[in-house]
């Protein structure tokens, strides 16, 4: 599954460089129109992040996300500051296909367990960080917990889907951290690991696929024109 990314900040679709809120580029002032373009290109999956929510813990861009859901045909996963069962229920009711829990997985694994027990496959965990350690609070804080430790703990409570991002690669167009992703996928064979961060060209998608990674999020490469929606659509066929 190829998932074009729509990252929302103040109601606009943007890209950050390495998660830096002070390094913002506006991709599209109308994210609903952007979602429609993705659909019209023949792509039927979206990765949506509420960047305001990632910092505040509130569903700051909920109205925009609901509008995207109403205008997009296909699979939508949403992440960014989702920290309560009530927020998960809100997205579930709205028809979101997968809800990504981030910082809360590290800080409140009990909530993740409750969410998995109630919602099953709806729940995914985003594991973001650099130098093998997990970052939290919209990447603003760095922990001492390794990717492997968090993955192992989340699998033990029933999580199957993981979005893994090497923050050092995100938005840089330097290529994904294939070694890290492949190692995690080989170590945790029951996990479905989605690659995020650093995708620069079509060959990166091929290399990830060869490394055993089936699902990939593409953001900056689309925004920069390095990869086109048409190319992604052709790869999906």
Among all residues, which ones are annotated catalytic? 7, 128
Specify whether the CB–CB gap between 159 and 124 falls below 8 A: yes
* Dihedral sign from CA coordinates of 188, 149, 102, 131: negative
How many residues are listed for the chain in this entry? 237
State how far the Cα of 159 lies from the Cα of 220, in Å rounded to an integer.
Answer: 28
Specify whether the CB–CB gap between 82 and 53 falls below 8 A: yes
State how far the Cα of 88 lies from the Cα of 1, in Å rounded to an integer.
Answer: 23
């Amino acid at each position: 599954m190829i998932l074009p990314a729509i990252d929302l900040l103040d109601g606009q679709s943007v890209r950050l460089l390495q998660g830096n809120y002070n390094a913002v580029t506006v991709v599209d002032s109308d994210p609903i129109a952007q979602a429609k373009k993705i659909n019209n290109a023949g792509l039927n999956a979206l990765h949506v992040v509420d960047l305001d929510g990632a910092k505040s813990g509130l569903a700051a861009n909920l109205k925009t996300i609901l509008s995207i859901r109403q205008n997009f045909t296909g699979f939508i996963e949403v992440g960014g500051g989702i920290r309560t069962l009530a927020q998960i229920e809100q997205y579930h009711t709205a028809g979101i296909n997968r809800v990504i829990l981030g910082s809360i997985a590290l800080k409140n694994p009990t909530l993740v367990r409750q969410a998995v027990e109630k919602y099953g496959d709806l729940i995914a965990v985003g594991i973001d960080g650099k130098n093998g350690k997990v970052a939290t609070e919209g990447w603003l804080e760095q922990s001492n917990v390794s990717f492997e430790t968090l993955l192992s703990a989340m699998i033990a409570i029933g999580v199957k889907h993981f979005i893994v991002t090497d923050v050092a690669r995100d938005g840089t167009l330097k290529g994904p951290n294939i070694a890290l992703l492949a190692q995690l996928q080989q170590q945790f064979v029951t996990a479905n690991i989605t690659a995020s961060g650093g995708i620069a060209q079509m060959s990166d998608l091929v290399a990830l696929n060869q490394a055993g990674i089936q699902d990939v999020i593409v953001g900056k490469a689309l925004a920069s024109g390095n990869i086109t929606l048409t190319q992604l659509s052709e790869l999906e066929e």
